[in-house]
Amino acid sequence: MEWLLAIGSAVVGFLVGRTMSKGGEAQMRAAFEKTERDRIEAEVRYLYEIRRGLAQALLAEDSQALLDAHATVADFQRLVRDGPKERIEAERTALALKYPRFEEFDLFGLRHFVPTDPQQYERREIVERYVDVGKFGTILEGDRYMAAAWKEEHLARDRQVLERAIERAFDHNTISARRRR
């Protein structure tokens, strides 16, 4: 009789333990998924910051190069939205091989309150990195990655802002040149 009680207790203990462990697995899975979402969000925010720094460098040097890079990334966004999944996966793989770590997207080593010198890089390098950051962000986040300024309906407004910035820079350079005479 004692052995029957021992076997019964073992079976009940096994069933209770199994039920409890499944609940724990679900909690662990949920915690892991939340951590993964948070990690991806942090990486996307990091890409936003890198893109902003690259855009500032391009704007200071050559606004047309920024507009061209802008258009290239917008074309890629349309490809992601409408194109074949195999092509998108190939782009993701190529970018992951080119930049195995997120820090490698950061051409200038951007940090808060630390001045950077984009002049040490060629415009081609900056444009290429800007486009690659835009592509990778688009692959990760899709339409959500593209800021409103990247959308086509705002491109005309952005051109006006860039043109005004160029005019101000030209006026400043003209005034400075006159003062030097």
Mean local confidence (pLDDT), 43-55: 84
Q: Which of 66-96 are b and which e, b meaning 16 or more Cβ less than 10 Å from the residue's Cβ?
A: bbebbebbbebbeebeeeeeeebeebeeebe
pLDDT score for 97:
92
pLDDT score for 175:
59
- Indicate whether 119 belongs to any domain: yes
Dig out the tokens for 65 from the structure: 């190069």
Res 89 pLDDT > 80: yes
Dig out the tokens for 80 from the structure: 């992601």
pLDDT score for 28:
80
- Indicate whether 17 belongs to any domain: no
Dig out the tokens for 127 from the structure: 């444009």
74: three-class secondary structure by DSSP: helix
Res 15 pLDDT > 80: no
Tens-digit pLDDT profile for residues 74-83 = 888 888 888 8
| Mean residue pLDDT across the chain | 76
pLDDT score for 152:
47
Q: Which of 100-104, 132-136, 146-150 has the lowest mean pLDDT?
A: 146-150
pLDDT score for 144:
62
pLDDT score for 128:
92
- Indicate whether 24 belongs to any domain: no
- Indicate whether 19 belongs to any domain: no
In which domain, by residue range, is 56 found?
Answer: 45-150
User: How many domains are there within the chain?
Assistant: 1
* Region label for 113, one of left (φ > 0), alpha (ψ between -120 and 50) or beta (otherwise): left
- Indicate whether 33 belongs to any domain: no
Q: Is the dihedral of CA 49, 54, 59, 61 positive or negative?
A: positive
Mean local confidence (pLDDT), 110-119: 69
Q: What angle do CA 25, 26, 29 make, to 5 degrees?
A: 85
- Indicate whether 10 belongs to any domain: no
Dig out the tokens for 85 from the structure: 């999944």
Tens-digit pLDDT profile for residues 28-45 = 888 888 888 888 888 888
Please state whether the predicted TM-score (pTM) of the whole model is above 0.85: no
Res 64 pLDDT > 70: yes
Per the CB < 8 A criterion, the answer to whether 139 and 88 are in contact is yes
pLDDT score for 94:
92
- Indicate whether 124 belongs to any domain: yes
Q: How far apart are CA 170 and CA 173, in angstroms?
A: 5
Nearest Cα to Cα of residue 59 among 169, 144, 143:
169
pLDDT score for 153:
44
Mean local confidence (pLDDT), 46-67: 84
pLDDT score for 148:
41
Dig out the tokens for 36 from the structure: 């993964």
Longest alpha-carbon distance in the chain: 112
- Indicate whether 11 belongs to any domain: no
Place of tokens 């203990």: 13
DSSP helix, strand, coil percent of the chain (3-state; round to 5):
85, 0, 15
